[in-house]
Amino acid sequence: MSGISHRLCQYIEPVMTFLQTIPQIGYILILLVWFHSTTALILIVFLMLVPVFYFNAFQGILHIDSDLQDIIQLYHHSFFYNLRYAYLPLIQGYIQSAIQTTLPLSFKAGVMAEIFVSTQYGIGKKLYYARVQIDMVGIFAWILWMVIIVFVMTKLSDLWIHYLQRKKHSL
């Protein structure tokens, strides 16, 4: 929305830039003090992903051809109509890029947060136990599992995006 409204951009962009510059460990430590472990874990991942989606969508809207912008405004549809039928299809590639960027990032951040949150189950907990026991084989094994899981998640998201694109083109 801030790509459409210059005034909104002036308020949101500094907040997103600030959120983007906070180190992951900073989110983890601050949110663990303020919230329960599960809530903190969800907020950590959310706060890390929002700026990536924001900046990708913002750049997508900025790169819409000015002639298309003029046509969108010429028809005087509601904001939500324009968002659904004009802007989202035009910035679809930017959104797909954000998904492909944030999917592995969210998984890695979630595992890192699990180490500090002390969840009952999860790869982060297993990595923590392996570190405490100085089990290098266990650490490498869990890291290998993380690589495999992220690889499979990325490939599944690619298949899903291609499926949606084929479905859109067949309509």
> Cα separation of 104 and 110, whole Å?
10
The model's pTM: 0.71
Of 17, 110, 93, nearest to 59 by C-alpha is: 93
Alpha helix ranges (H) inside 2-135: 6-21, 24-34, 37-62, 66-74, 79-82, 88-90, 92-117, 123-132
- Domains in the chain: ranges and CATH: 6-170 (1.10.3720.10)
For residue range 150-171, list pLDDT tens digits in order.
Answer: 899 888 988 888 887 777 766 5
What's the pLDDT at 148?
93
Of 59, 149, 66, 48, nearest to 95 by C-alpha is: 59
| Residue 140 banded pLDDT, cuts 50, 70, 90 | very high
| Direct distance between the N- and C-terminal alpha carbons of the chain, in angstroms, rounded to an integer | 28
> Cα separation of 23 and 20, whole Å?
8
Cα separations (Å) of 94 from 8, 30, 39, 64, 103? 20, 31, 29, 11, 14
Summary mean pLDDT of the chain: 83
Of 68 and 37, more confident = 68
For residue range 48-73, list pLDDT tens digits in order.
Answer: 888 888 888 888 888 888 888 888 88
Query: 119, 125 in Cβ contact below 8 A?
Result: yes
What percentage of the chain has pLDDT greater than the value 70?
94
